[in-house]
A and B are shown apart, each in its own frame.
Chain A
Amino acid sequence: MLGKTANGLFWMYRYMERAENTARLIETGQRIALTRLNQGDDEWASVLQSADCLDGFRSAHDEISRDLAVDWMLRSKDNLSSVVSSVNAARQNARLVRTAITGEVWEAVNSAYMALKTTLARKVSERDLPSVLRLIRHHAALVRGVTHGTMLRNDIYDFARLGTFLERADNTARILDVKYYVLLPSARAVGTSIDNVQWESILRSVSAKGGFRMEYGAGGGPREIAAFLILDRRMPRSLAFCAGKLCDNLEYLGSEDDAGEVSLAMVGALKDRLTTKSIDDIFEYGLHEFLQTTLEDLSGISRQIEQDFRFYA
């Protein structure tokens, strides 16, 4: 496969994943704002931060409001991680790798682009927001489903998966990091309604609420939430799960020669940390420090994959 094609696949799937994650973050923010247990607009600052676009937002706007924040994350062309920008970039990359993906995957990406281009041409009202967010999730699910159902399990698929799981791990780590103080054992206000809302918002932003309840019933506090999202290998958005997938796909890629050796070693180290440590170890090390290290590792791995597989000349 061409290095350029591997690059295109990697980013196409990163951007699709990003569009979906951003939609989910907006959904969470909106929900918290509606429950009004919190200072609504403060919450948007932390949502923007989770989406890694607070700095950009601040350079464009003086103050934070719901409308501005939602619009920035959904539609802004200046925000390279907005849903519109992400879907555009995903499609642009899909065009670039048109010969590597199946016709059905291309059509799914193209129809996502066309549908959102129309829907997001104008500002989205509060009333329409839920259905718009659902539309984004549906299209992302369609692309994922068609990928599963029609793509050969070869190098092409491996690069698609690497993009997906790097982006996902990055997203989960960032959400946790923005809210890490809510999860610390020292955060004493256990049981207050504010904390319940905060915890729930973390679970919601990674679509883990159902899974968590299934596992812990009505119980479970910050410690369990942190363990679930960092260490649980059954939870498809946990750091351990993502690291496992990254490891698998790099192993497939290197099964015939030693391609990707260095990236694999880096992912292996990350995976080790996520499988051998307990949540108490992590708290002892410092949750924030742990998450920061993980985020740095992830971007290091991304750069190494680029190099190992000759994404650029």
Chain B
Amino acid sequence: MSENSVFDEMWGRDAQVRAPYKNFCNWFDQEDPKRLRAKNREAEDLFRLTGITFNVYGRAEAEERLIPFDIIPRIISGAEWAKLSRGIEQRVRAINAFLHDIYHTQEIVKAGRIPRDMILQNEAFQPKMIGVDVPGGVYTHIVGIDLVCTGPGEFYVLEDNARTPSGVSYMLENRETMLQMFPELFSKNRVQPVQQYPIDLRRSLAACAPAMTGGDPTVAVLTPGIYNSAYFEHAFLADQMGVELVEGHDLRVIDGRVAMRTTRGYKPIDVLYRRVDDDFLDPLNFNPESQLGVPGIMDVYRAGRITIANAPGTGISDDKAIYSYMPEIVEFYTGERPLLQNVPTWRCSEPEALAYVLDNLEDLVVKEVHGSGGYGMLIGPTATKKDIATFRKKLKARPKNYIAQPTLSLSTVPIFSKTGLAPRHVDLRPYVLVSPDGIKITPGGLTRVALKKGSLVVNSSQGGGTKDTWVLEE
């Protein structure tokens, strides 16, 4: 990890343009900034009209926001991508093997590679999944691996999203927007396509249908409803796949199968791509207050009569405390050395680690084990003394609740700012589909960018934006 200098993906030393960006920069230098600015606004109008908005949590329906889109693409060479995707595939294979193991014989615990409590005491561990044989042996049908780059070819996994990763609609719409606005760029650069994702997703889900399914499986997307922050994405994916978008109240268990209420009566579903959290999936088996799920769906699932994607209980594999064991997990199940690096992580549950973390809070990032969306975290180097003092108290009170990591020097990619190109920190979330037919990774993924100068927080809920991500053909 380079300590002082930030790695910019477009420009090297002495403002030398790096190879993947050469074509793009030639084009950019000849463009009139005024035209580009107009295009930028055009993109925004397009997003609004298409309705690519997200609802801000806890606010009224009127509060629909756009995720800012930046027109400068993030470009990755084919060779670099090939290397990355090998690492991603290895990791995703390991995650699935790990999930199967901990919900069956728990060999990894018996081998002493992960403490038993780390699994059994974990809130994300789902006892109802013990001994369940999931259709096709697949637990995580859709995975989003969050990566950050710190130097040439240096990628780290920041977190694995193995529950219901979101954002893929932005990957698709960002590309669509770029194609519409700058078609000439795509004739000058050979960019690997992403548009096949919805069809791949449908095929991949269908391939995971229960063994009993005859013919073409009926797939549906389960959404919490139009007030959910990601509703647009749920509707978008259902639309693009050509499947029904259902809510809990459209579904019912009839004759041992989950069925949806159609205008002609109830029709059974084979594969449910659910965008509802485990807890809300089944009021009879999980949170009894839930209005979003289907009473009894877990019983149908255990009987092997429906596929739930992703499987309940996958949260145990992307838990931040488990994260620190990922190198061991990859080695244990694949017998290979991990190709992707993990960020060194201190588990504050361990007294020595806690002592170190408390002594070095100014230099570390501290995260809540179960937090997400960039909330509940401390970024030492940019935090105020008061923030650090507050966190110190929290850490001492509930050390098990936290992990700490060194502050990574995230790479930058320029954005098109009011004053021209300006470097901003980015991360990358590639999307991975898993089925018995194999693992499929869409080239590229979603690049999130912190629009504020110097900021490391890329989350859309906190002022982050997105970019189109290009993987070039070799």
Q: Are B263 and A3 neighbours in the complex by a CB distance under 8 Å?
A: yes
Nearest CB of chain B from residue A181's CB, rounded to whole Å: 42
| Chain B contacts for A99, CB-based, 8 A | 235, 238-239, 243-245
| Binary B-proximity of A102-142 (CB < 8 A = 1, otherwise 0) | 01001100110010000000000000000000000000000
The yes or no answer to B246 lying at the interface (CB within 8 A) is yes
Q: Which listed segment binds A: B45-53, B78-86, B92-100, B301-309?
A: B45-53
The yes or no answer to A1 lying at the interface (CB within 8 A) is yes
Task: Specify the main secondary structure of chain A where it touches its partner.
Answer: helix
Which chain B residues border A98 with CB–CB below 8 Å? 51, 235-236, 239, 245
Q: Quick one: given A2-B261, A98-B239, are A114 and B226 in contact (CB under 8 Å)?
A: no
Q: Decide if A1 touches B263 in the complex (CB within 8 Å).
A: yes
Tell me if B246 and A2 are in contact (CB < 8 A): yes
B231 at the interface (CB under 8 A from A): yes
A4-B261 in contact (CB<8A) = yes
Does chain A have a CB within 8 A of B265?
yes
Say whether A282 faces chain B, with CB atoms less than 8 Å apart.
Answer: no
Within the assembled complex, what's the spacing in Å between the Cα atoms of A1 and B48? 28
Chain A nearest CB from B12 CB (Å) reads: 42
Known contacts A4-B247, A95-B235, A259 near B51 by CB under 8 Å: no
Most buried by A among B236, B243, B244, B264: B264
Number of A-B contacts (CB under 8 A): 64
Residues of B within 8 A of A313 (CB): 249-250, 252, 261
Q: Are A107 and B231 in contact (CB under 8 A)?
A: no
Docked complex Cα distance between A4 and B249 (Å): 9
Q: A103 to B240: give the CA distance in the assembly, Å.
A: 11
Q: Is B262 an interface residue (CB 8 A)?
A: yes
The docked-state distance in angstroms from the alpha carbon of A99 to that of B233 is: 11
Contact residues in A for B247 (Cβ distance below 8 Å): 4
- In whole angstroms, what is the CA distance A309 to B217 when docked? 24
Please tell me if B258 contacts chain A, counting CB pairs below 8 Å.
no
B246 contacts A114, C-beta separation under 8 Å: no
Shortest distance in angstroms between A100's beta carbon and chain B's nearest beta carbon? Answer: 9
A3 contacts B261, CB within 8 Å?
A: yes
**Could you say which residues of chain B place their CB within 8 Å of the CB of A111?**
49
- Say if the beta carbon of A63 comes within 8 Å of chain B: no
Chain B residues near A309 (CB-CB < 8 A): 263
- Quote the shortest CB–CB distance from A103 to chain B (angstroms): 8
Interface size on A, residues (CB 8 A): 24
**Interface membership of B260, Cβ < 8 A:** yes
Q: Is the CB of B250 within 8 A of A3?
A: yes
A6 at interface, CB cutoff 8 A = yes
Closest chain-A Cβ to B224's Cβ sits at a distance in Å of 13
Contact with A along B218-229 (1 / 0, CB 8 A): 000000001000
**0/1 string, B167-190, CB within 8 A of A gives 1:** 000000000000000000000000
Q: Judge whether A310 is part of the interface by a CB distance below 8 angstroms.
A: yes
User: Inside 8 A of B264's CB, which chain A residues have their CB?
Assistant: 257, 259
The reply to whether the CB of A96 lies closer than 8 angstroms to some CB of chain B is yes
Q: Are A95 and B226 in contact (CB under 8 A)?
A: yes
Tell me the complex Cα distance, A313–B50, Å. 30
Binary B-proximity of A83-99 (CB < 8 A = 1, otherwise 0): 00000000010011011
The residue of chain B having its C-beta at the shortest distance from the C-beta of A107 within the complex is: B49
How many residues does chain B have at the interface if contact means C-beta atoms less than 8 Å apart?
25
A155 part of interface (Cβ distance < 8 Å): yes
- In the bound complex, CA of A114 to CA of B244 (Å): 27
* CA of A185 to CA of B285, assembled, Å: 70
Q: Which of A298-313 contact B (CB under 8 A)?
A: 309-310, 313
Complex Cα spacing A175 to B417, Å: 56
Query: How long is the Cα–Cα vector from A114 to B243 in the complex, in angstroms?
Result: 28
> Cβ of A106: which chain B residues have Cβ within 8 Å of it?
50-51
- Docked Cα-Cα span, A259 to B263, in Å, equals 8
Contact partner, A155, options B226, B231, B263, B265, Cβ 8 Å = B263
- Is there contact, CB below 8 Å, between A1 and B262? yes
Q: In the complex, which of the residues A4, A6, A106, A313 has the most CB atoms of chain B within 10 Å of its own CB atom?
A: A4
CB-CB under 8 A for A2 and B244, given A99-B235, A259-B264: yes
Known A-B contacts A95-B231, A110-B51; the reply to A310 vs B226 at CB < 8 A is: no
B226 adjacent to A6 (CB under 8 Å): no
CB closest chain-B residue, reference A309: B263
- Find chain B residues with CB under 8 A from A92 CB: 61, 226
Chain B contacts for A6, CB-based, 8 A? 263
A33 CA to B236 CA, complexed, in Å: 47
The answer on a CB contact under 8 Å between B226 and A2 is no
Residues 458-473 (chain B) with a chain A CB within 8 angstroms: none
CA of A110 to CA of B53 in the docked complex: distance in angstroms? 12
Which of A4, A99, A259, A309 has its CB near the most chain B CB atoms (within 10 A)?
A99
Residues from chain A with Cβ under 8 Å of B238 in the complex = 99
A155-B244 Cα distance, complex, nearest whole Å:
14
Q: How far is the CA of A313 from the CA of B263 in the complex (A)?
A: 11
- Bound state CA distance, A103 and B49, in angstroms? 10
Q: A residues within 8 A CB of B246?
A: 2, 4
Complex: chain A residue closest to B267, CB-CB? A2
On chain B, the residues within 8 Å of A103 by CB distance are 50
Cβ B50 vs Cβ A107 within 8 A:
yes
A272-313 interface code vs B (CB 8 A; 1 in, 0 out): 000000000000000000000000000000000000011001
Binding site for B on A (CB under 8 A): 1-6, 92, 95-96, 98-99, 103, 106-107, 110-111, 114, 155, 253, 257, 259, 309-310, 313
Residues of B within 8 A of A (CB): 48-51, 61, 226, 231, 235-236, 238-239, 243-247, 249-250, 252, 260-265
Nearest 9 A/B pairs, CB to CB: A98-B235, A309-B263, A99-B239, A3-B261, A99-B238, A6-B263, A99-B245, A1-B263, A95-B226
Q: List 6 A-B contacts (CB under 8 A).
A: A2-B246, A4-B250, A6-B263, A95-B226, A253-B263, A257-B264
